[in-house]
Structure 1
Amino acid sequence: MTVEEFLQAIERILQYKPLASIQQFVLYQSWLGKTYAEMARASGYGNDYIKEVSSQLWQDFSEAIGERVTKKNLHIVLSKYQQDKISQQENRLQKKFEGESRLQKVFPSLFSMDKMEFPSGPVPLGSPLYMNRPPLEELVCNEILHPGCLIRIKAPRKMGKSSLLNRMITHAREQNYQIVYFDFQEADEDVFASLDKFLRWFCTNVSRQLNLLPCLDDFWDTEIGSKVSCKIYFEAYLLQSIDNSAVVLALNEVHRIFEHPNIAQDFLPMLRFWHEQAKQDETWQKLRLVVVHTTEIYVPLKLNQSPFNVGIPVTLPPFTLEQIQNLAQGYGLDWAKNKEGAKRLVPLQAMIGGHPYLVNLAFYYLSQGEMTLEVLLETVSTPTGIYNQHLLELLNLLQEEPKLMSTMQQVIATDEIIELNAIAAYKLESMGLVQLNGNRARASCELYRLYFSQQIGL
């Protein structure tokens, strides 16, 4: 959380009561851990005045959230307050969707398709549009109960990784596990400047999410190195602070780290080592690791160092025809119910390969009554087709890297599986454009083969 975000959060908690400049100054300095004497020297105000302003602030803040707030526990209380708000919101959403599902069965006319939200981001908890892909949901929810487990969820972009992860996290919360969640796409680029900076950023974030004060300097030792310091910090401080519970460390978009080999070559083996420590150390059994990524790692690692050949692998497959048919009914497309409906969906499956996002997009437009399935398929790769924006985004990404465009040209030029270099294979798979078997690739669906053949001029 930046200082600006922190100040905005305080104003929201205080019901948008505007903060005076001196109040903002005190909050800013308190967030940075400054003493009242240091604040007085920096501002030119007297020490007693600074304390008086601070005292009123902590009193207002305490009354607003119903918990005693002081300068010392400011970080912890705010983190806990925000986590509680998130949990309450998730519970409200869950109850809302459960209630709507019950009402929809009794009063289907109340839920017209013009209220359907455009497919974007993870499918909300409780949504009838979430398609189970057995046995994946049961597998991850059972595995997270095992001490010291490591779960690896892999799939290209927009295949449903975050939706599955959110349901696993909800299940873990129901077991009273603590949750630490990272999305590495949110990390600033300078975080990856060095391993030491990255691991300190990592440990600080874990501390905040566990409502613990970061005290890295008490455990960090340059003589023994960053990795060992990080291990000691977890072992002697973070995990020791968790009583009779477990912590789920969910690492989303881990492929972002692949792009920084100087970090990946140390961080990824470290995760594996922690997982292996759990086999012989009860302290490490409290930690449950979940690693989510778009593709296999291309950073060179020794076989006994990689976290990607241990633990439970979970690969998200495309939707089957039956799942596509069930989803169509979730969108209110009654014509898809029986065997005849399934036959009508076969050409759609053949065109988009059961890709969850592409399937949802098709059913969204069909549910609006703006076109028929036949028209959708006829215009599928044209500028007037429903996938035009999605396809343009992929085309722009390829055009930014001519070598990658050339590689994609090789893929679509033949119906045969061709071999690619590791980095090109990684990038194309993470974009969802190819299916890989090792480094051997083919276009992931007919839509991409058709569109890029037209664009590249084959």
Structure 2
Amino acid sequence: MTIDDVVLVLNVMLPKPLTRLQELILRQAWEGKTYNIIAQEAYYGPERVRKVAAELWILLSQVLNEPINKANFRKNLEFRELTHTQQQLIRQFSPLPSFSRKNPLEFPDCPLSLTSRFYIPRPPVEELAFTEIMEPGSVLRIKAPQKMGKSSLLLRILAYGEELNYRTISLDFNQAEEYLFTDLNKFLRWFCANVSHGLNLESHLEDYWDEDIGSKVSCTIYFQNYLLDKIQEPIVLALNEVNRIFEYPELAKEFFPMLRFWYEEARKIKNWQKLRLIVAYSTEIYVPLNLHQSPFNIGLPLSLPYFTHEQVQELAKCYQLDWTGDLEIQQLMAMVGGHPYLVQLAMYHLISASRDNITFVLEPELDLNATPKAQLEQLLQQAPTTSGIYRNHLRRLLVSLNQDPQLKAAFEQVITTEGSGKIDSTLAYKLDSMGLITFKGDQIEPSCELYRLYFQEEFIVVDC
């Protein structure tokens, strides 16, 4: 067997495909590398690598029906022939099977599942997050613009928490109804009720809520004396799209200091040490908070970076795009930079156009008879137009800008100013949360050429 054969056999015989870390350990162990070297090269902690490897050898032993470990892994398998059954399974296995209604290609418009082959790690982000949630009373802050992969990362952090037998809950503030954000008491009761539900506990708000001591104190007591007291394991609580609260300054000035207080209480009260809080948001907070009351200057801050050239190259391999050199990657990144969603959407359309048995209409339709290079050029030529693959995404951004004239004027200033521009900080934070701009020192620029070209054209048309 080759190492590729081993990986294929495991992928087709195990209930779930190998994770990227599992496959990395297999390939590196085949080359005789130590766990410490594997950890260094993959930006994972050594203990994490050893734990995953130990589970991997057990799986491999079960599949091959003999004891396998790191020491005998290659020695036992390198000169072994594939069995007839294994050969049949490998022939049937295709990393990217032809499109069908039963087996569709994953459309990149929602969080990537835990088994998705299209999730590209951005070391050392994942390992830092995994390590942080093991710290008692920790706070992990994840900041990134929309469609940069926050929700996909959260899925993996929560899954890691479950591997550690932690209890996990995820709340998305975009799911909360509008009226809740204008009433602190109602909002905190909603918050407590949802966390109770996530922990499979009955809501006992009336036993702990006391209007005489206030809703913040009542919420704190409810967590400390009921939720955290009832659950013995650590609890990972992920709060996603926290930036929605930024739009309600009165709520923000009450809710965020409460989270900061909980973090400080963990230094002295054991129950609070069970709570591992993850706060995910799209931009810097633009609501003024007292330095010592803000939760945005505590814990571990993580920012999700744009993809590097190498990561775009890795994603292209996952899509099995026939890109033999760097030219295609350079052309794509010249238009969309390393924006994960924009890069992946382009690759989705390109591979869809090259697959057999296509039973849907590509919009826009690419020339199916063209070479991969020509298809990419066609896609990029159409990209900043109303007929390109990004048109729905661009239209949504345009609608958001049109709903806020000040925001639109600020972005127009950014894309029409020679070099780079400066704008009001609150407007800049909002544009940043939409992913439209990047900060370079104290200067602001459009985050990619796609946005510059599309919105220049749109704003010219409107002005005319």
Bin of the TM-score, shorter chain as denominator length: 0.7 to 0.9
The structure-2 alpha-carbon separation of the partners of 1:438 and 1:213, relative to structure 1 and needing over 3 Å to count, comes to farther
Matches within 5 A, 1:28-427: 95-98=15-18, 107=92, 109=94, 111-114=96-99, 115-243=104-232, 245-336=233-324, 340=325, 342-369=326-353, 370-371=366-367, 372-427=375-430
Q: Give the drift of 1:200.
A: 1.2
Amino acid at match of 2:179: D
Deviations 1:75-131 (A, max 9, x none): xxxxxxxxxxxxxxxxxxx944449x9999765657335342221100111211000
Give the match's secondary structure for 1:368. helix
Amino acid at match of 1:111: L
- Between the aligned partners of 1:226 and 1:318, the Cα distance in structure 2 is 40
Deviations 1:180-206 (A, max 9, x none): 210000001121231111111111111
Amino acid at match of 2:186: K
Amino acid at match of 1:333: L
The structure-2 alpha-carbon separation of the partners of 1:113 and 1:326, relative to structure 1 and needing over 3 Å to count, comes to farther
Amino acid at match of 1:140: A
- Between the aligned partners of 2:344 and 2:111, the Cα distance in structure 1 is 12
Q: Give the drift of 1:451.
A: 0.8
The structure-2 alpha-carbon separation of the partners of 1:350 and 1:275, relative to structure 1 and needing over 3 Å to count, comes to same
- Contact 2:117–2:318 (CA<8 Å) still a contact in 1? yes
- Contact 2:108–2:348 (CA<8 Å) still a contact in 1? yes
- Between the aligned partners of 2:186 and 2:139, the Cα distance in structure 1 is 25
- Between the aligned partners of 1:227 and 1:431, the Cα distance in structure 2 is 31
- Contact 1:324–1:354 (CA<8 Å) still a contact in 2? yes
CA RMSD of aligned residues (A): 2.3
Amino acid at match of 2:397: L
Q: Paired residues, what number?
A: 360
Which residue is 1:436 aligned to? Answer: 439
TM-score by length of 1: 0.74
Q: Give the drift of 1:386.
A: 1.3
Which residue is 1:445 aligned to? Answer: 448
- Contact 1:420–1:440 (CA<8 Å) still a contact in 2? no
Q: Give the drift of 1:163.
A: 0.3
- Between the aligned partners of 2:426 and 2:296, the Cα distance in structure 1 is 17
Question: What percentage of aligned pairs have identical amino acids?
Answer: 50
- Between the aligned partners of 2:279 and 2:400, the Cα distance in structure 1 is 25
Q: Give the drift of 1:419.
A: 2.3
Q: Give the drift of 1:449.
A: 0.7
Deviations 1:341-365 (A, max 9, x none): x232112112101100000110011
Amino acid at match of 1:433: L
Which residue is 2:9 aligned to? Answer: none
TM-score by length of 2: 0.73
Unaligned runs of 5+ in 1: 1-93
- Contact 1:194–1:262 (CA<8 Å) still a contact in 2? no
- Between the aligned partners of 2:311 and 2:409, the Cα distance in structure 1 is 35
Q: Moved runs in structure 1, 4+ residues, more than 6 A? A: 101-105
Amino acid at match of 1:162: S
Q: Give the drift of 1:260.
A: 1.1
Which residue is 1:38 aligned to? Answer: none
- Between the aligned partners of 2:166 and 2:206, the Cα distance in structure 1 is 27
Q: Give the drift of 1:424.
A: 1.1
Q: Give the drift of 1:148.
A: 0.6
Q: Give the drift of 1:380.
A: 1.7
- Between the aligned partners of 2:420 and 2:116, the Cα distance in structure 1 is 38
Q: Give the drift of 1:439.
A: 7.1
Which residue is 1:7 aligned to? Answer: none
Q: Give the drift of 1:141.
A: 0.8
The structure-2 alpha-carbon separation of the partners of 1:200 and 1:127, relative to structure 1 and needing over 3 Å to count, comes to same
- Between the aligned partners of 1:440 and 1:276, the Cα distance in structure 2 is 36
Deviations 1:26-74 (A, max 9, x none): xxxxxxxxxxxxxxxxxxxxxxxxxxxxxxxxxxxxxxxxxxxxxxxxx
Amino acid at match of 2:301: P
Q: Give the drift of 1:392.
A: 1.4
Deviations 1:379-425 (A, max 9, x none): 22122221122111111211122221111110001243322223211
- Between the aligned partners of 1:159 and 1:110, the Cα distance in structure 2 is 25
The structure-2 alpha-carbon separation of the partners of 1:439 and 1:426, relative to structure 1 and needing over 3 Å to count, comes to farther
Amino acid at match of 1:308: F
- Between the aligned partners of 1:385 and 1:111, the Cα distance in structure 2 is 25
Give the match's secondary structure for 1:223. coil
Amino acid at match of 1:184: F
Deviations 1:208-249 (A, max 9, x none): 222222222222222221111111111111111112x11111
Amino acid at match of 1:368: S
- Between the aligned partners of 2:221 and 2:419, the Cα distance in structure 1 is 51
- Contact 2:286–2:429 (CA<8 Å) still a contact in 1? yes
